[in-house]
Amino acid sequence: MAVKSTHLVSVKHRISAGERARSNKHRGGVLWFTGLPGSGKSTLAVETEHKLFNNGRQAYVLDGDNVRQGLSSDLGFSHDDRTENIRRIGEVAALFADAGFIVITAFISPYLKDREIARQAAGAIFHEIYIDSDIETCERRDPKGHYKLARAGKIPEFTGVSAPYEAPESPEFSVDTQNLSVEECVDELVQYIDLKLVG
Ligand SMILES: Nc1ncnc2c1ncn2[C@@H]1O[C@H](COP(=O)(O)OP(=O)(O)OP(=O)(O)O)[C@@H](O)[C@H]1O
Ligand SMILES: [Mg+2]
């Protein structure tokens, strides 16, 4: 991406990350979910957010379709547009985390390189979480009916069918949604988040 802004001078906040963490009783962080369509990203993101909220945490989900209706409504599903979409979300997620939130992002984000750009935006507080399920299971679930449409050639560039998915090579954490229930996956995720961001 060409950087067009010049002569920028950042304003320094008067509240430090430590002060925000003491007030919230946890640190901010980006939990970057990635996985095939239908692997369970949205389901686990909203359930995990709900459980974290009930435990008194500041948590917020950024989800694919919601963001594409606003922030990225000018973007499609070509490789370049997917890259720009993820770049924008990476920046937004980093801002939320800087504000002290536990941000859970639920985007397919199929390209390793794009996820690395998102990681760079957030720095050390970025956690790549693989929402792991094989394509057969995802296709059997097909909660939006998109696999069926993609197989019929009605959705071009559909991840897993006609566009690639590059699985994480060394994610910070992964959950096996193929063999575990939603509740079991959420428990594992909340445990991981507590371990990394609380105390
Ligand atoms: N352990 C599990 N974790 C998450 N979802 C599960 C699990 N077991 C079964 N499911 C089911 O799998 C489906 C996952 O759909 P969901 O919309 O969450 O996927 P997604 O990864 O967000 O897909 P997309 O990329 O298309 O938005 C849901 O119908 C959910 O009930
Ligand atoms: Mg989803």
Give tens-digit pLDDT for 135-155: 999 999 999 999 999 999 999
Atom of ligand 1 nearest to the CA of 108: 25
pLDDT tens digits for range 156-179: 999 999 999 999 999 999 999 999
Q: What angle do CA 176, 181, 183 make, to 5 degrees?
A: 110
118 phi/psi in degrees, rounded to 5: -65, -40
Distance separating alpha carbons of residues 106 and 147, to the nearest angstrom: 18
pLDDT tens digits for range 44-67: 999 999 999 999 999 999 998 888
Binned at pLDDT 50, 70 and 90, residue 23 comes out as very high
- Best mutation site among 68, 141, 187 for ligand 1 pocket (most ligand atoms within 8 Å of CB): 141
Using the mean position of ligand 2's atoms as its centre, give its distance from the Cα of residue 64 in Å: 6
pLDDT at position 4: 87
pLDDT at position 77: 87
Atom of ligand 1 nearest to the CA of 107: 25
How buried is residue 169: exposed, middle or buried, by Cβ count under 10 Å (0-12/13-18/19+)?
exposed
Using the mean position of ligand 1's atoms as its centre, give its distance from the Cα of residue 155 in Å: 19
pLDDT at position 106: 96
- Which residues, judged by CB distance below 6 Å to any ligand atom, belong to the binding site of ligand 1? 35, 37-44, 64, 106, 108, 141, 143-144, 177, 180-182, 185
- What CATH architecture applies to the domain 19-197? 3-Layer(aba) Sandwich (3.40)
40 phi/psi in degrees, rounded to 5: 120, 15
The domain segmentation of the chain, as residue ranges, is 19-197
Residues involved in catalysis: 109
What percent of the chain clears pLDDT 90, i.e. is strictly above it?
92
Atom of ligand 1 nearest to the CA of 184: 1
- List the one residue out of 22, 177, 184, 35 whose CA is nearest residue 104: 35
Distance separating alpha carbons of residues 41 and 129, to the nearest angstrom: 10
Binned at pLDDT 50, 70 and 90, residue 70 comes out as very high
Give the ligand with the smallest distance to the CA of 38: 1
Distance separating alpha carbons of residues 157 and 151, to the nearest angstrom: 11
Name the residue with the closest Cα to ligand 1, atom 31: 43
Q: State mean pLDDT over 9-17.
A: 93
Distance separating alpha carbons of residues 75 and 69, to the nearest angstrom: 10
Provide the residue type at 14 as one letter.
R
pLDDT at position 3: 84
Using the mean position of ligand 1's atoms as its centre, give its distance from the Cα of residue 145 in Å: 12
Distance separating alpha carbons of residues 1 and 154, to the nearest angstrom: 31
pLDDT tens digits for range 79-131: 899 899 999 999 999 999 999 999 999 999 999 999 999 999 999 999 999 99
Is the confidence at residue 196, as pLDDT, over 80? yes
- Best mutation site among 43, 130, 181 for ligand 1 pocket (most ligand atoms within 8 Å of CB): 43
Token pair recorded at residue 88: 């924008």
Is the confidence at residue 1, as pLDDT, over 80? no
